[in-house]
Structure 1
Amino acid sequence: MKRKKMIYSILLVLLIGFILFFYQAFNGNPISKAYSKNVLGTYLNNNYPSKEFRIDDGVYDFKFSQYIFEVVEIGSIKDSDGGLKKYEFNVSGFIKPVVNWDGIYYANLDEPLMEKLGQEAAKEIEGVLKEEVPSVHSVEIQIEVLKGKLDPATSWNKNLSLEKPIQMHIVLDSTNQTTKDVFDDAKKIQNIIESEGYKYDYVNINGNGFDNKYSDGKDDRGYVKFAISFEKDTKLQLNDVEEFDQ
């Protein structure tokens, strides 16, 4: 009898633990939520000391394992409906939570100037790369600039003071390339942008086919055959190239 009770008790504990595990996986828990909210409060005080905020109750996003908080700027007026300005902030991490989405920062980006500078940078970098890497098909550059930091008429140059290092998306014409060819071109690209002094934190390279194998010929971006990416100071290896089944 005692043995049965012990087995039932163990099963009950396991069942409760199982339920709590899945509840936390989909809903978070009060302790980590409070900790994340406190981390966000500190972040707001450090980054926006002249403003006052109210952090509303957050919700748990189980897909990305993060808490989403709505932050209200006290004393502000939102032009569209007359209410206070509200921003979304995301906080992720259980042991050491960090803010990975700052709604105030993104709301204040100068998108027209970012687009202008991005196009100018892409044209320059594409020209530089093609001199040594003929397979380069196109280049897109992501640049972030806050409103008021630069004159709207500012032209691109690699010594501009930006909010973050640039990010690059490069497409190669890999119609007739092998994995090794893409790897060699990626290493050349890495060496060029380093030697030219471009300040970047991430580069993504897609090796695309342009033989219209999977398109009607109207899409000049082709289809992805290979992909490789790297951050600053990454030592590339041949197995970093991902090959897609064709």
Structure 2
Amino acid sequence: MTMKKWIYLILIIILVVPILFFYNAFNGNPTWKYFSNKAVKHYLEVKYPGDEFVIRDAIYNFKVSGYSYTVRKVGDEHQKDYEFTVTGFWKPTVTYDGIYYDNLDLPLMEKLEKEAAAEITELLKDKVDRIVEMGVQVEVLQGTYSPDTKWSKDLKLEKPMYLYLIADATNMNKEDVLKTVRSIQQTLNSEHYSYLGFSFNGNLFDNEMIQKDDRGYVKYSVLFEKDSNIELNDVEEYNQ
């Protein structure tokens, strides 16, 4: 192949590849659609054995870079539709299960989250200068526990809980934040709490513009997992 033909070939690749990438990002492609359909079928077979489902044709959702499916259980007298989402190009995976979320026990979850937040706030009050807000997210399916069940870290949840904490960091620097989050992690682990992740926001309350905002504004943030090794570069600092 002559140099001129090589140049033409390279120019074509330079022009075509971005166009294909852009089209794929907003419209998907037949291959991706085929394997995402297989992924949702396999997921339903494993997650809900013994049940049969009608899966409607996929709709590409560019907002999540994946395919959305409408699924209906065969024999369901209510004929209810559930949304499923499959994302991932190389390994399509179900990332949203409408049946699962429809069967969560929301009233009990809200009750347990409040009780867990109160318990963990008490546990961490000596580790954090001032806790502005403590939040806990848990997931419990309907029928798993009675409505009057009280929070316990030994409850079997569908997934490990997720926690977030807003603290007053007006008088803290990055090193102080690092020391604080390490202490939080050590305390939770030593008390044998199971959690998927912990989001720490260190907020400032030294600006006249936010006097009416009891949450202040974010100065530091750290996201860590139960067994992660938290370092100083994990502390994100924001300039206002």
Length-normalised TM-score, structure 2: 0.92
Secondary structure in structure 1 of the residue aligned to 2:96: strand
Instruction: Choose which of 83, 92, 106 in structure 2 pairs with 1:88.
Output: 83
Instruction: Choose which of 188, 195, 198 in structure 2 pairs with 1:193.
Output: 188
Letter in 1 for 2:155: L
Instruction: Choose which of 190, 215, 222 in structure 2 pairs with 1:221.
Output: 215
For residues 167 and 14 of structure 2, what CA distance do their matches in structure 1 show?
53
Counting aligned pairs with the same residue, the percent is: 49
Instruction: Choose which of 223, 231, 237 in structure 1 pairs with 2:225.
Output: 231
The alpha-carbon deviation at position 58 of structure 1 amounts to 1.2
For residues 188 and 59 of structure 1, what CA distance do their matches in structure 2 show?
46
Q: Is the 8 A contact 2:185 2:226 kept in 1?
A: no
1:54 alignment partner in structure 2: 54
The alpha-carbon deviation at position 21 of structure 1 amounts to 2.7
Taking only aligned residues, the RMSD between alpha carbons, in angstroms, comes to 2.0
For residues 133 and 30 of structure 2, what CA distance do their matches in structure 1 show?
48
Secondary structure in structure 2 of the residue aligned to 1:104: helix
- Paired residues, what number? 239
Q: Measured at CA, do residues 183 and 53 of structure 1 come closer, stay the same or move farther in structure 2, by a change above 3 Å? A: same
For residues 236 and 145 of structure 1, what CA distance do their matches in structure 2 show?
30
Q: Measured at CA, do residues 175 and 4 of structure 1 come closer, stay the same or move farther in structure 2, by a change above 3 Å? A: closer
Instruction: Choose which of 123, 128, 131 in structure 2 pairs with 1:133.
Output: 128
For residues 204 and 40 of structure 1, what CA distance do their matches in structure 2 show?
31
For residues 232 and 38 of structure 1, what CA distance do their matches in structure 2 show?
34
Deviations 1:73-116 (A, max 9, x none): 222133xxxxx111111111122111111111111111111000
Deviations 1:32-74 (A, max 9, x none): 1110110110100111113211111112222332111111222
For residues 227 and 3 of structure 1, what CA distance do their matches in structure 2 show?
54
Q: Measured at CA, do residues 7 and 108 of structure 1 come closer, stay the same or move farther in structure 2, by a change above 3 Å? A: same
Letter in 1 for 2:145: L
The alpha-carbon deviation at position 152 of structure 1 amounts to 0.3
2:95 alignment partner in structure 1: 100
The alpha-carbon deviation at position 162 of structure 1 amounts to 0.8
Deviations 1:123-164 (A, max 9, x none): 000000013333333210001100111100000011011111
For residues 91 and 122 of structure 1, what CA distance do their matches in structure 2 show?
33
The alpha-carbon deviation at position 3 of structure 1 amounts to 8.6
Secondary structure in structure 2 of the residue aligned to 1:214: helix
Instruction: Choose which of 205, 214, 229 in structure 2 pairs with 1:210.
Output: 205
Q: Is the 8 A contact 2:128 2:167 kept in 1?
A: no
2:33 alignment partner in structure 1: 33
